[in-house]
Chains A and B, each alone.
Chain A
Amino acid sequence: MDIFLQLTVSGLSTGMIYALAAAGFVVIYKASDVINFAQGDLLLLGTYLIFLSVAQVGLPWSLGVAVTLLLAVAVALAVERLVLRPLVGEPIISMIMVTIGLSSVLRGVTGAIWGPNPRSFDSFLPAGDIVLGPATLSTARLLSIPIALAVLAGLGLFFRHTRDGIAMRAIADDQQAALSMGISIPRVFGVAWGLAAVSAAIGGIMLAGIVGVSPNVASIGLRVFPVVILGGLDSIAGAVIGGAVIGLLEVYVGFYVGHGLNLVVPYVVLVLVLMVRPYGLFGKEIIERV
C-alpha cells in the first residue's frame, strides 16, 4: 500500500509537469490551430534557463524563477514574431512544419551552450521527505502538484474570463468573424505563445528541481502528444486529466507490469484514443444544430 501511495504521488507529479507542457500546447492550438512540435523543447529551455540563472549566474531562487519566465517569454515572442507571424495566412501545415524545425533549433542551441551532459544543482523545492502513514514521500514531488494545479487553474480562468482569453477562443471558432470585431490576430497569437512559454517554463523549473537538468528533458516533451490526444487538443482541463492519467499509467505499468513498458504505454493510449474518441475526453465536438 505504501508503495502504491509513493507511486501515485510520483506519477501525479510527473503527470502535472506533462500537464503544464500540454497546457501550453493547448493554448497555441486553441488560438491558431497550430500543432506546436516544439512544446517539449520549451520545457527543456525552462530547465536550462533556471540552471543558468540560479546555478551559473547565482541569482536567488525567487529572482531566478522570475528571470527564467521573462527569458522564456522573450524567446517565445521572438519566435512568434520572426518565424510564425510571417506565415500567418499560409496553410497551417507550413506553420506546423516550422515548429518541427524550431524544435531542432532549440535543442541544438541549448546543446551548444550547455553541452550533452546532465547537470545537477540544489533544488529550491525542499529536499526532505514527508512521512505519511506508512509511505515516505518526496516533498519536492508532493509540492509540485499544487503548484502545477494552481498554474493550470489560472490558465483555465484566463480563457473563461479575460478579454484576450475570450478573443483566443473566438479566433479558434471563426477567424474572420473575430477579425470583424476588431480582434487583433497578431496580438492574440503573441499572447498565446507567451502563455505557452510561461506554462512550459514553470514545468521546466519543476523538472529541474525534481530530476535535474539534461538534454533528455526534451523527450519528456514528446509525452505531450499522448496527453493532449487523451485530454482533447483544445481543453486545459483535458490537459490536467490527460497528464495525470498518463503520468500514473507510466509508473503503475513500470512497477507492476514490467520496466520498459512504461515507455510504451502512453503511445498505446494515444493509438486507442484516436480509434475510439478522436477529439479526446474533453475536446470540442462539432456542434450541429438540429
Chain B
Amino acid sequence: MTGAEAAPLLSLNNIEVLYDDVILVLRGLSLEVAEGQIAALLGSNGAGKTTTLKATSGLLHVEDGEVSDGTIVFDGEEIQGMDAHRIVEKGVFQVLEGRRVFEHLTVRENLLAGAYTRGTRRGLEAETDKVYEYFPALAERRGQAAGYLSGGEQQMLALGRALMASPRMMLLDEPSLGLAPMLVENIFGALRRINREEGATILLVEQNARIALSVADYGYIMEGGRVVLEGDAEELRANEDVKEFYLGLGDGGRRSYRDVKHYRRRKRWLS
C-alpha cells in the first residue's frame, strides 16, 4: 500500500476521531510511515492533519477528543488512547504547531525539559551540545529566556527539544509556519539531517507542499478527515492535481469559477 518494503514503524488503521463526543474529525484515516522515512501529510485547513498527529501522540484527551475507532500501531504495539507521557517514553515525539517554546525558561532549560523522559541528567551535556551544533544560533542564546527569541530561533528550539528526547519518530506540525523562506530552507535542511544522522523517522504536516515534498520520501494528501491521494513524493510532485491545487503550478491562465466547481467535483470523486 505504501512505497515502503519493510514493516511500517507507525501505522494508522482506519481511525476515527471524535471531539466532544459528537464532532467527527477523522473518518477512517489510514496511513503508514516506514522506519527511516520522511512522510509528508498535506491538505488544506481543517482537513484533519493536526488531529492526526495529536491522535498519534496522545494529546487529544486534553482537548476532549478521542480515537473512537481504528488502531494506531507504533513499533508493533497499539498506542491509541495511551497517556501522552507513555507514548513519548516509547519514542514518539510531537513538535506542536506554532513553536510553543516555554517562554519564561531559558533556551537551555527548554532543552532540558525536552529531555524529561530520559530521566537522569547523565549525558545531557552531550545532547545539548549536539543541539547547539545543529543550531548554532541557539548556542549564543542558551541563557536567555526563550520568549525573547526570534520566530526562527524558536522553531529551532522546538526542534532542539525534540532532538533532546532522541525519539524514534518525530511528528512535526507545520515547522515552516510564519517563517521567512530562508529560514524555512534552514529548518528543512536540519530536518533532513536529523532524519539521516539521528535515524529519526518523520511524519511531517505542512501547508507548504512544495518544501514538504522536496524532503519527503512519501506523501499523503488529506481532505475532510481522510486520505484522498498518496504516493511517492516524486509521483505526487508530478501529479497534475497536486501541481495545480497544492503546488500552485497550474498550466497558466486565470481559472473560471466553473473550473473550481469542476475541481470540487473531482475532489469528491477522489475521496
- Interface positions of A (Cβ within 8 A of B): 89, 163, 166-167, 169-170, 172-184, 284, 287, 289
Q: Is the CB of B145 within 8 A of A287?
A: yes
Q: Is the CB of B102 within 8 A of A174?
A: yes
Known: A163-B112, A174-B100. A182 touches B105 (CB 8 A): no
Q: Is the CB of B88 within 8 A of A170?
A: no
- Interface positions of B (Cβ within 8 A of A): 57, 59, 62, 83-85, 87-89, 93-96, 100-105, 109-110, 112-114, 116-117, 119, 121, 145, 147-151, 161, 165
Known A178-B113, A184-B83; further 18 A-B contacts with Cβ < 8 A: A89-B62, A163-B116, A166-B112, A167-B113, A170-B109, A173-B104, A174-B103, A177-B101, A178-B102, A180-B93, A180-B94, A180-B96, A181-B114, A181-B165, A182-B84, A182-B88, A183-B116, A289-B150
Can you give 20 A-B contacts (C-beta < 8 A)? A163-B116, A163-B119, A166-B109, A166-B112, A166-B113, A166-B116, A170-B102, A170-B105, A172-B104, A176-B100, A177-B100, A179-B59, A179-B85, A180-B57, A180-B59, A180-B88, A182-B87, A183-B113, A184-B85, A287-B145
Neighbouring A residues of B104 by C-beta, 8 Å = 169, 172-173, 284, 287
Neighbouring A residues of B62 by C-beta, 8 Å = 89, 175-176, 179
Neighbouring B residues of A173 by C-beta, 8 Å = 102-105
Q: Is the CB of A169 within 8 A of B85?
A: no
Q: How many A-B residue pairs have CB under 8 A?
A: 88
Nearest CB of chain A from residue B170's CB, rounded to whole Å? 11
CA distance A18 to B35 in the complex (A): 56
Q: Would you call the interface of chain A mostly helix, strand, loop, or mixed?
A: helix
Q: Is the CB of A181 within 8 A of B105?
A: no
Known: A163-B121, A166-B112, A287-B145. A180 touches B84 (CB 8 A): yes
In the complex, the chain A residue whose C-beta lies closest to that of B124 is: A163
Q: Is the CB of A169 within 8 A of B105?
A: yes
Nearest CB of chain B from residue A270's CB, rounded to whole Å? 24
